[in-house]
Chains A and B, each alone.
Chain A
Amino acid sequence: MFAASFKSETRKIFTLKTWWILGLVMFLLTALSAGTYGLLAMLSDQIPELAMIPIDALTIYGSITSAGYVIPLLSGALATTNEYRHRTLTPTFLATPKRGIVFSAKLPTQLLLGIFYGLLGLAAAVGLGAPLLLAAGYETALSDPSTWWLFLRIIAVLAIWGAIGVGLGALVKNQTVAIVIALVFTQFVEPIIRTIGAAFEWVSEAVKYLPGAATDAFVGASAYSALGEVGSTGLEWWIAGLVLLAYTVLVCALGSQISWKKDVS
């Protein structure tokens, strides 16, 4: 039953355009952020003020997650909210009346898509970032094993965000609301809180546990840490990973146990 449901969920994704449109956005977003940092690196010997920003290869590669984690989040949220919005839960639950199976079949499809988005992000960040670093006279760090370890963490965290999206969409139901929450929280609310948090030590202790901060801490290199959250050291990478897993479990449990179980009429 699970295998059949997984196959059906995969077909749901590849019979629509959303997956590659989001992939394209992922690629462009990462290219933009890696390109910007690459250009800053090139300009830093001419403009001394720029040297304050510690740009290195890991910052550029790490920008994949800070710029792009919203992409798998949206992908996952669309996978569940599409079912409510287009009333496709009716045929879906007619074919697979055990609803938990349908929900759990959505998770691996979105985990795999998250990995796909991670690979696209890496292609853009390395493809554009590495030549710019070389041109600026920096190391690309591609021969360093820790860089490849960073790549793995980037891919893993993007996969996790796909699963968080599935849970968020299932819980919220309304597609527009889910998209607004995903965009506003990741792009405005959390960055603002983190900026404020940087100024007050007691806030920064709590801010570390926000999903975006945990994502950065897990990856260990990102724009925020580069731009210097003063006084904030962030979580240990493995604690950050556990925090993200806790968010995933919480939002998926709420989504699958509350909204997903309601009457489909």
Chain B
Amino acid sequence: MSKEVTLELQGVSKKFESTLAVNDLSFSVHPGKITGFLGPNGAGKTTTLRILLGLVSQDSGRALVNGQSYRELENPANLVGASLDSNSFHPARTGKDTLMVQTSAAGIPDARIAEVLNIVGLTEAANKKVGEYSLGMRQRLGLASAMLGDPQVLVLDEPINGLDPQGITWVREYLKHLASEGRTILVSSHVLSEVEQTVDSLVVINRGKLVYEGTVKNLRSQTKTSVFVSATESAKLEAALSASHKFIKREDGVVIEDVEPQEIGELALKNGIALTQLRTESTGLEKAFLELISNGGAE
């Protein structure tokens, strides 16, 4: 890559009628890695991305691409590729024609269309109308459109939504490859598990406010796992546990927080208890994420 480009938000706020969709939000996205942009539905992710790309005007603060606002960029498609909405295509236009409209607007040679269609696996559907595309195909078309200018920055809003399992694996690998080339990649999602294996950094927002910015590793280390365990002799299991652990009783077993499964297995062995189930209840990362977004946020 010729140059490395950073995305930056500085104290951005946006109000829609009475709701504060984005509340004094600041974060930055760096090159060479994939940054996950997370938050529950309605947290303000899409609004934030649209502010970053000049589609929505913020009330205050600055949104910068390479130090400039998107609307000031001379030929933005060569610097930033974006896929924001899988329903932003005219249904009567073919996939190829949809891209032809984009290449001409951005001054990109039409020869690039066949290349991006090949990359996303839409070559055979190129002359089909977009109205006949599945959601997954429209997601691929959006990615193809984003890649037209071979941009240093990719901004993708829920790109995995609607893709089949093979498609999901393919997108993950492709994004990793692009990041390894030094590109700046921002991917939004409302499900952590969807992007957990792909992203290097996380920006988490809730009710328009930043609640976490940092590495995935760092967030994971903030909590321990909890373990679900059950046994045929459940009374004996509970008695053995009560000496050393706090646990929560459930209909079919017990949940112990902040513990590794190995520890519980060893305890059962020592007490001669036959376990029927022993598993990690939820990963520490998911728990940490849920904690982040269950708080009041803006309040």
Q: Which residues of A contact B (CB under 8 A)?
A: 4-5, 7-8, 10-12, 15-17, 82, 86-98, 263-265
Contact = CB atoms under 8 A, between A and B. Distances in A.
Nearest to A18: B92
A15 B93 contact: yes
A15 B97 contact: yes
Interface of B: 46-47, 50, 53-57, 70-71, 73, 76-77, 80, 82, 84-85, 87-94, 97, 100-102, 104-107, 145
A212 B106 CA distance: 39
Contact of B56 (A5, A15, A94, A263): A263
Given A82-B90, A97-B70, A263-B57, A4 B84 contact: no
Given A87-B87, A91-B145, A4 B107 contact: yes
> Across chains A and B, which 8 residue pairs bring their CB atoms closest together, nearest first?
A8-B105, A95-B105, A15-B97, A87-B88, A7-B104, A263-B56, A8-B104, A90-B88
B90 A265 contact: no
A17 B88 CA distance: 19
State the main secondary structure of chain A at its contact with B: helix
Contacts, number: 84
Contacts of B145: 91
B55 A93 contact: yes
Nearest to A16: B92
A10 B105 CA distance: 10
Given A4-B104, A265-B47, A16 B93 contact: yes
Contacts of B87: 87
Question: Chain A CB within 10 Å — which of B47, B85, B90, B105 has the most?
Answer: B105
Contacts of A91: 88-89, 101-102, 145
Contact of B105 (A87, A92, A264): A92
A86 B89 contact: yes
Contact of A265 (B54, B55, B80, B106): B55
A11 B56 contact: no
A90 B100 contact: no
Given A82-B90, A86-B89, A91-B88, 11 more contacts: A4-B105, A7-B105, A8-B102, A11-B104, A12-B101, A15-B94, A16-B90, A89-B55, A90-B88, A94-B77, A97-B54
B7 to A, nearest CB: 15
10 contacts: A8-B101, A11-B101, A86-B89, A93-B55, A95-B76, A95-B105, A96-B105, A97-B73, A263-B55, A264-B50
